[in-house]
Amino acid sequence: MDMDTKDKSDSHRVRLDELREGYLETLPERLEKLEYFIANIPVDSNYREDGGNLRAGLNLAYQEAHKLAGSAGAFGLRLISQAAAQVQDVIDKWFDPPPKDPRLKQQEMLRLVRAMSSMDTDEKPGHSPQAQHSSSTIHIVDDDELVAEEMRLWLEEAGFDAQVFLSASVYGDTYEILPRPDLIIMDIVFGNERSAGTRIIQFLKQKFGLLPPVAFLSVRDDIGARLSAFRSGAARYLAKPVSRTDLVELAREFADRKGTPAFRVLMVDDDETVLKVNQLIMEQAGLKVRSVSNPLETLDAAREFEPDVIILDVLMPEASGSEIAAVLREDRHYDPVPILFLTSATHPDQKVIGAALGGDDFINKPFDPDYLIATVFARARRSRRLRELLRQSQEN
């Protein structure tokens, strides 16, 4: 990592810490507001005669719980975020079927909010994704030096950076200090150990959690070997001898060529605190981000910014994420652009509606920053590749 990149990363970390401190100062007020909305739900109303007021009260509490689930999750306050999501879940299921004693449901939600006040706020967000994509490099781990060097040359001739490691155990020991790659190409057999490659990958997953995509290499081409590799977390499996075409196609799917422009992400959320945090996290990972707090400005921002990925919050007052997705999908220009929804709701109906209106994936709050980054990179890479193929087909 060069000094400019390190300085920028440190600056982002300082800014994130400042935002977190400011958020913690406002947290008691946020909890008090949610408690107020829940306490004022007219649960004694006759549903058939006065259902409008009841729904309005539930909706106010739901929106406030939604904001809390998202903002707390963004700052790593997972327990508070999960409790707020539980409040949403109670409201989601309010009429399915209607409660015999709605006051019990109200008390359940109030207990959840009051419990949040005593929850640990010293939780730290998941490890910083600052090195997640600090290097657009492919790691080749294979003890056959001639084969490994040949693969490296093929990849570099195709425009990729590649680095060779001849020992699986040394790679496992040094992975922590290496710039995180876009792709790991790992042989399975090393010396007399028939599954050294899969063992090292499992070790790295246990230690670091989410890894870049892994492609296993093996002389075996039977279904048992392939199943074993995929059960160990393989994204792809290549049987030896590996052809140049297959290797380059693999790299094109998961890695970036040297000099590839940064992926562009358009993020829409009415909670400006969440926007700021998520923008800093994604910028740390090398993404170019445009944030929009008014969903009605999404279409104009998309036309101006030309994003590779669009991230929409599901619940927003002016227009829901599902509605914005439907508007975007009306324009064929955005057909190849993935739309990701951020949601803290657990009710399946929202996901069905979102998928039907053009959403490609759901990311549940609270989420691991590394998971968000990995999902965005994978979707952006496929999006850019698809648009490249579409342009080529139109030219031919």
Query: How do residues 107-155 score in pLDDT, each as one tens digit?
Result: 999 999 999 988 877 765 544 443 444 456 899 999 999 999 999 999 9
Closest to 12 in 3D by CA, of 274, 292, 279, 229: 279
Residue ending a domain, choose from 193, 219, 254: 254
In a domain, 216, yes or no: yes
Task: Give Cα separations from 164 to 170, 171, 194, 203 (angstroms).
Answer: 12, 10, 20, 20
- Residue 197: Cβ within 10 Å count: 28
Confirm if 13 and 131 have CB atoms less than 8 A apart.
no
In a domain, 123, yes or no: no
289-326 pLDDT, tens per residue?
999 999 999 999 999 999 999 999 988 888 989 899 99
- Which pLDDT score is estimated for 149? 95
Distance CA 94, CA 88 (A): 10
The secondary structure of residue 190, as a DSSP letter, is B
Q: Are residues 315 and 232 in the same domain?
A: no
Confirm if 69 and 366 have CB atoms less than 8 A apart.
yes
15-47 pLDDT, tens per residue?
888 888 999 999 999 999 999 999 999 988 766
Distance CA 138, CA 152 (A): 9
Q: Are residues 157 and 235 in the same domain?
A: yes
Q: Domain containing 372 — which CATH number?
A: 3.40.50.2300
> Six-digit token pair at 135?
């290097």
In a domain, 170, yes or no: yes
- Residue 294: Cβ within 10 Å count: 13
In this predicted structure, the answer to whether residue 330 has a pLDDT above a threshold of 70 is yes
Residues spanned by the domain of 319: 264-395
In a domain, 127, yes or no: no
**Domain tally, the chain:** 3
Closest to 186 in 3D by CA, of 175, 161, 176: 175
Distance CA 78, CA 80 (A): 6
Q: Are residues 110 and 228 in the same domain?
A: no
